Structures are given as structure tokens and as C-alpha cells.
Amino acid sequence: MSDDQEYYAGVDIGSAFIKAVLINQKQIIAYGILSSRGSYNETAKRVLDQALSKGRLSLDKLSGIVVTGVGAESAPFQARQFSEISCQAAGCRFLFPSARIVIDIGGQFTRAIKLTAQGRVANFLMSEKCATGSGRFLQVIARILRIKIEDIGPLSLKSQKPVEFSTNCAVFAESETISRIAEGARTEDILAGVHRALAAKVAMLVKRLKMEHDVVLTGGGAEDAGLVLSVSEALGVEVLVPEQPRLTAALGAAMLAREQRPGTR
């Protein structure tokens, strides 16, 4: 391995998962991801170590680190901080130069970002007040249905008749789900109903930003094929999904770390 190579890391300390991505001047080298249980800084260190060992690198080989996410403050290493919005935008414009709207459906928040033709952040909106607009809604319902998060997507795609919830509140939807189960509603129809309710909230955010093509969906929510379908239906376009939708903000953070080093591009 030649020593003139420069390496950069981006670490995204999110409410549900901590992610790290390593890049060099040209490409993505390795990544790490762990669930955010326990202390943020310990897990963040483990995630970065995970990525470093996959990339056969060590911390001292890194020319720069950028950290982002709700837990960015507690990063256990020397790093510059950038907002999730900037990192998400940077990651998505690298993967999809045509992206104008980025929707990030995370464990706790949903963010919608509008990008200019140059890929700069023009505006953004967050849904952070209500669980119905976030992945939490799905988690709450999945728990009642005793379904694993990763099974939600494939199962919901079998739905023939999505349940229509009479409420927009995750807590009330939880009790409504119980009565629907008692009435004999099928699990897939309930899940598809949750997807529709969530997608409707997401579409409201996008509408306020003014819809434009292309739309990229990221975050854990983008790993749920049923939700991707519902968001596409709600927006009336086929949304683009990165190969690793949870990693885009960490990737963007690494990109920003690289940009911070003058003369390295």
C-alpha cells in the first residue's frame, strides 16, 4: 500500500445506528455499522475501528474525520462537526448527481432536503415532533405484530387491501392495530396501512419544499421495500434508493472531510 494515499472518515452517530465510512481520494474503501445501544462514544469508536480494520488502516492514517448525527457532540476522536443535512446532501449528490429532493427516514426523524442543480442545500424540513412521521411508527406497530423490522418490507408487499387508519397518531394507531387484529385484519394489510400513513406524512414535507425530480430515499426507512413503494406512490414518482441507504450521511461526512483538505482533490 503506497503511503501517498490519503484517507478520510465520516462518522454518523444516529439515534438508532452509528455508521462510519472510509474513503480515499477516489473511492469508498470500507464501512462499519452498529446499533446505537449503550454509550454513543464507545459505540462510535467501535464502529470506526470496525471500518478501519476492514480497510486495513489505523486511526493515525486518516487525514481527516468529520462527525455528524444526534450524538456528534460525544465523538471520542478529534473530528470536525457538520450537520446531518450537509452530510446527507454531500453523500447523495455523490451517489446521484441528478438528485433534487433527498428524503431521509431515520429511526427518530424524517428529513426532506431540497438540493440545487449544483447539489447544494437549498432548503430542508424536518418532522421531529410526531412519531407518525418517522421510523418509530413502524417499530411501534412491528412490535405489536411481533414482526422483525427487516421482515416488514417483504411482508407488506403481499398486501391486497391496506388497512386505513382512522388516526394519525402512532399511539392511537397502536390500539387501532390491536382492534384490527381482533377483527381479523391480515398482518401484511396492517403493515401496508402503516406505510401509507407514513408516506402521506413524508409527502406533506416534500410538498412544502416543492417537489422536483429526482427523489432519493435514504435512512433505515429506505431498506423497507414496502415503504419505498408507498413513498413512490404518494409522490407519484419512482424514488431512487442507494445500495446502502443507511450510510449516505456517513459517506457525505467523509466527502466533507476530504473537501476540508485543500489541494487534495
Partner 1 sequence: MPFAGVDIGSTMTKAVIVDGYGIIVASVIGPTGAEHRHLALAVMDETIKKAKLRFEQLDFIVATGYGRINVPFADKQITEITCHARSIRTLFPTARILIDIGGQDSKGIKLDAEGKVMNFVMNDKCAAGTGRFLEVIAETLGIKLNEMGELSLKAKDYVRISNTCTVFAEHEVTTKLTEGATIPEIVAGLHEAFASRVVNMVRSLGIEKDVVVTGGGAMNVGLIKAVEEKVGFPVLVPPEPLLTGALGAAFMGMDLLARGVTSERERRLEGVTFFK
Whole-angstrom Cα distance, residue 223 to residue 184?
Answer: 28
Please, which residue, 27 or 166, has the CB nearer to partner 1?
166
- Least separation in angstroms between residue 180's CB and partner 1 is 11
Cross-sheet strand order for the sheet of 7-13? 28-35, 17-23, 7-13, 62-68, 80-81
Conformational region of residue 111, where left means phi above 0, alpha means psi within -120 to 50, and beta covers everything else: beta
Output the smallest distance, CB 83 to partner 1, in A.
Answer: 20
For the bound state, the minimum distance from the C-beta of residue 129 to partner 1, rounded and expressed in Å, comes to 6
Q: Which long-range contacts (CB under 8 A, 24 or more apart) does 149-152 make?
A: 149/220, 149/224, 150/223, 152/191, 152/224, 152/226, 152/227
Sheet with 110-115: list strands edge to edge: 121-127, 110-115, 101-105, 215-218
Sequence-ordered list of residues with C-beta below 8 angstroms from that of 64, at least 6 positions apart, any chain: 8, 9, 80, 257, 258, 260, 261
Which of residues 180 and 258 has its CB atom nearest to partner 1 in the complex?
180
Between residue 115 and residue 144, which ones bind partner 1 under the rule CB under 8 A? 129-131, 136-137, 140
Give the residue with the Cβ less far from partner 1, 131 or 203.
131
Task: Kindly identify the residues of this chain, within the stretch 216-235, that bind partner 1 according to CB under 8 A.
Answer: none
169 part of the interface to partner 1, by CB under 8 A: yes
Residue 159 CB, nearest approach to partner 1 (Å): 24
Please report whether residue 170 would count as binding partner 1 according to CB under 8 A: yes
The residue among 170 and 202 lying less far from partner 1, judged by its C-beta, is 170
Query: Of residues 25, 108, 232, 260, which one binds partner 1 by CB under 8 A?
Result: 108
Which of 174/238 has CB closer to partner 1? 174
Which residues are CB-neighbours of 115 under 8 A, at least 6 positions away? 89, 92, 93, 99, 100, 101, 102, 121, 122
Check residue 172 for interaction with partner 1 (CB under 8 A): yes
For the bound state, the minimum distance from the C-beta of residue 234 to partner 1, rounded and expressed in Å, comes to 20
> Which residue ranges make up the site for partner 1 (CB under 8 A)?
108, 129-131, 136-137, 140, 167-172, 179, 182
